[in-house]
Amino acid sequence: MIRVAVVDDQTLVRQGIIGLLTLSDAVTVCGEGADGDDALALVAAGGIDVLLLDLRMPRRDGIAVLEELGERGLSLPVLVLTTFDDDDLVLRALRAGARGYLLKDVTLDQLVAAITLLAAGGTLLQPGLTDRLFRAAQRDRPVVAGLDRPEPLTPRELDVLRLVAAGYSNAEISGALHLAPGTVKNYLSAVFVKLGVRDRTRAVLRALDLGLLETA
């Protein structure tokens, strides 16, 4: 079973998420906390496969927790769960190392699927989120012409990257583009190398910064 810790400052919300997860045979809740300090203590204690983390909490918020985990060199998968559909916060969380983002009104099946994906090394970007993140990234993009421009992506690599940004899994990309699963993986590997990243989330964030996901 996948071991999960839930950190949220609202007791009813936290207990509701925990109660929901107890209905799943795939997940076990091994810890809970009410703020960022609790989150760091839970991670330090070990035994967690995925951390479910709220963003807006007292003492130390979710962004600060993610930044601290990064400074400590910890790569624990973190799924951000929040009631705030705030694009700037989402962008900050993903840049700070979150591997996925969901609103708290998700179903049990959606939540367990997201946890399972992250535990297996995947990342989660919700369909429909990328366009809004692109606009947020446009506001934050540094104006440094010609700096750190990667090797250009091929048209097919861009096709794959756009579907990743839209929340497609490898299997869904394979079906949408009529490519073999191994070919999709090869295209993704090439995208990662060219963009200088190591996972899907950072690939999308890098593409957003570079304006590669702009649509006509």
Beta-carbon count within 10 A of 179 CB = 18
Distance CA 89, CA 57 (A): 13
**Rounded to two decimals, what is the model's pTM?**
0.71
* Dihedral, 140, 205, 43, 38 alpha carbons, nearest 10: 30
Residue ranges of the chain with pLDDT lower than 70?
Answer: 84-87, 126-149, 214-216
Instruction: Determine if residue 137 is left, alpha or beta; phi over 0 gives left, psi from -120 to 50 gives alpha, anything else beta.
Output: alpha
For 199-213, what is each residue's pLDDT tens digit? Answer: 888 888 888 878 887
In angstroms, the first-to-last Cα distance of the chain is 45
Q: What is the pLDDT of residue 8?
A: 94
Q: Which two tokens stand for residue 29?
A: 């809740």
For residues 172 and 136, the answer to whether their CB atoms sit within 8 Å is: no
For 138-183, what is each residue's pLDDT tens digit? Answer: 555 544 334 456 788 999 999 999 888 877 888 889 999 999 988 9
Q: What is the pLDDT of residue 78?
A: 94
Q: What is the pLDDT of residue 56?
A: 87
Q: What is the pLDDT of residue 14?
A: 93
